[in-house]
Amino acid sequence: MGKPFNALIVGVGGQGTLLASKVLGEAARLSGFDVKQSEVHGMAQRGGSVVTHVRFGDKVYTPLVEMGQADLIIAFEKLEALRWAEYLKPGGVIVVNDLEIPPIPVILGAASYPEAVYERLEQAGISVVRINAVEAARQIGEVRAVNVLLLGVAAKIFGFDKHVWEEAIKTSVSDKSVPVNLAAFNKGWEMQGA
C-alpha cells in the first residue's frame, strides 16, 4: 500500500460520527496499518457541522485529509455530504444517509436547503451510495445505531476482514451495546452487498 487510504466521516454534532470513526480506526489498526485520525470535540458537537478524518497505510504523517484527496466519505446527512464532497478525489465514493437536518439559517428562512443533492454529486463525477439508514436501523429496532449501520454500508470499500470489523466494534463500545452495534453493522454490510 503506497499512499494512505483517506476517509472522512461527516455529519451533524450529536449524530454519533465519533463512534463510527473510532470503529474504523480500530479496524485499520487491527488490520496492521499505521493509523491517524482527527476528530472534532467541543463547540461544534452542539449541532454544528462535524468531520472526522481517518487515514491509514504503511506510514501516516498528518492526521488530516486534504481537499481533493479523500477516497471515501461517509455522510450522515445530505447537506453535509455536499459541504464536504470537494474533499473527494476524482472517482471517489460517497455514502450518503438519506436524511435532511435543516440548519438554523434554513429554519429561520435566511437560507434554503440545497436541492438535488444527489444529482449535483453525480454530475461532479462522484459515485454516490444512497441509503435510508434511519429506516434500516428502525428495522433492527435501534434508531440510534445509524452510525455503525452506515459504517457497515461502507465497510467493504476498506477491504478489511469481516471478523476484524467485529473485533473493532467489540473494542469500541461497552459490552452491553455490542449486540445492537453488531446487528447494525451486519445490516449495513448486507445492504451494500445487495
In the complex, the residues that contact other proteins under the rule CB under 8 A are 12-14, 25-26, 29, 34-49, 60-64, 66-68, 79-80, 82-86, 101-114, 120-121, 124, 143
Q: Which one, 98 or 192, has the nearer CB to other proteins?
A: 98
Please name which of 191, 76, 194, 90 lies closest in space to residue 143, comparing C-alpha atoms: 76
Measured CA angle at 110 (ends 101, 52), to 5 deg = 40
What does the CA dihedral 167, 171, 172, 176 come to, rounded to 10 degrees?
100
Contact 45, 14 (CB under 8 A): yes
Residue 2 phi, psi (nearest 5): -75, -85
Q: Which one, 43 or 194, has the nearer CB to other proteins?
A: 43
Q: How far is the CB of 82 from other proteins (least distance, A)?
A: 6
Q: How far is the CB of 113 from other proteins (least distance, A)?
A: 7
Q: Which one, 45 or 192, has the nearer CB to other proteins?
A: 45
Q: Which residue has the cell 447494525?
A: 184
Distance CA 163, CA 50 (A): 29
Q: How far is the CB of 64 from other proteins (least distance, A)?
A: 7
Q: Which one, 130 or 192, has the nearer CB to other proteins?
A: 130
Q: How far is the CB of 192 from other proteins (least distance, A)?
A: 24
Q: Which one, 107 or 162, has the nearer CB to other proteins?
A: 107
Q: How far is the CB of 8 from other proteins (least distance, A)?
A: 13
Q: How far is the CB of 87 from other proteins (least distance, A)?
A: 9
Q: Which one, 36 or 187, has the nearer CB to other proteins?
A: 36
Distance CA 67, CA 167 (A): 31
Strands 88-97 and 127-131, by their bridges, are: parallel
